[in-house]
């Protein structure tokens, strides 16, 4: 289904991408832009959980929703990392590692699906940890100020984005290792 509630939430993540980026081009105080962008990012990142939950709860799962959900996630993360790199809040090399992994694993999953081995690269807890670290890091780096009176969002965001980069590489190696038997079998 293209337009049920869970899929509309997924579409909302995609629609929010230019809104998040566009906030940094508005003529307003930096603190307001940062708070608005991080708040919007949190709201749309929440839809990643909500769309899956509602799809299962309302029995509205679909092949299209299963396709669109990870695409929306990757677009949101990649666009946010590009914005943060442009703002010089994230190291470009770290952003490239994360972007490269997302492209590589997406291509790997597509290939494994084509050869009937998609189970070998099913989502693993390592990938979920990577995503959680990325989402929190991006939120903090978009905020780039003091949270709750004493938390340095930039410092913690930087620490977490490096943690996410390590988890990114680790999870990529994990998925490649899981796919290797199917790759070898297909190469024969």
Segment 127-155, tens digit of pLDDT: 889 989 999 999 999 999 888 888 899 99
Q: Is the pTM of this model over 0.75?
A: yes
Residue 64: band (very low, low, confident or very high) from pLDDT cuts 50, 70, 90: confident
* Higher pLDDT pick, 85 / 181: 85
How many independent structural domains does the chain possess? 1
Give the integer Cα–Cα distance in Å for 183 and 119. 13
CATH number at residue 83: 1.20.120.1760
Rounding to the nearest 10 degrees, give the CA dihedral for residues 32, 38, 44, 49: -150
Please determine, for residue 71, whether its predicted confidence score (pLDDT) is greater than 80: yes
- From residue 71, how far is each of 38, 75, 154 by CA, in Å? 21, 6, 27
3-class state of residue 152 by DSSP? strand
Residue 177: band (very low, low, confident or very high) from pLDDT cuts 50, 70, 90: confident
Please determine, for residue 36, whether its predicted confidence score (pLDDT) is greater than 70: yes
Residue 181: band (very low, low, confident or very high) from pLDDT cuts 50, 70, 90: confident
Give the integer Cα–Cα distance in Å for 46 and 178. 29
Look up tokens 């693993």; give the residue.
124
Give the integer Cα–Cα distance in Å for 83 and 12. 19
Q: Which pLDDT does position 81 carry in this prediction?
A: 96
Average pLDDT over all residues of the chain = 89
Please determine, for residue 85, whether its predicted confidence score (pLDDT) is greater than 70: yes
Give the integer Cα–Cα distance in Å for 69 and 169. 22
What is the token pair recorded at 83?
């914005």
Strand partners, 146: 152
3-class state of residue 146 by DSSP? strand
Q: Which pLDDT does position 4 carry in this prediction?
A: 85
Residue 96: band (very low, low, confident or very high) from pLDDT cuts 50, 70, 90: very high
Look up tokens 């749309």; give the residue.
44
Please determine, for residue 1, whether its predicted confidence score (pLDDT) is greater than 70: no
Please determine, for residue 111, whether its predicted confidence score (pLDDT) is greater than 90: no
Rounded average pLDDT over 31-40: 93
Q: Which pLDDT does position 188 carry in this prediction?
A: 67
Strand partners, 147: 151
Q: How far is CA 38 from the centre of its chain?
A: 14
Give the integer Cα–Cα distance in Å for 139 and 157. 8
Name the percent of the chain lying above pLDDT 90: 50
Structural domain containing residue 35:
5-187
């Amino acid at each position: 289904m293209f337009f049920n509630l869970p899929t509309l939430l997924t579409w909302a993540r995609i629609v929010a991408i230019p809104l998040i980026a566009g906030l940094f081009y508005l003529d307003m105080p930096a603190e307001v832009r940062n708070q608005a962008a991080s708040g919007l990012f949190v709201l749309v990142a929440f839809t990643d959980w909500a769309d899956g939950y509602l799809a299962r709860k309302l029995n509205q799962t679909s092949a299209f929703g299963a396709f669109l959900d990870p695409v929306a996630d990757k677009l949101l993360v990649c666009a946010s990392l590009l914005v943060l790199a442009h703002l010089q809040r994230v190291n470009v090399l770290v952003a490239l590692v994360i972007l490269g992994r997302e492209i590589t694993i997406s291509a790997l999953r597509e290939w494994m699906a084509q050869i009937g081995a998609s189970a070998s690269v099913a989502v693993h807890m390592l990938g979920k940890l990577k995503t959680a670290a990325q989402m929190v890091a991006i939120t903090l780096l978009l905020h780039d100020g003091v949270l709750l009176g004493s938390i340095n969002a930039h410092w913690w965001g930087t620490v977490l984005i490096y943690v996410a980069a390590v988890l990114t590489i680790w999870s990529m190696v994990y998925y490649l290792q899981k796919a290797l038997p199917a790759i070898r079998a297909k190469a024969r």
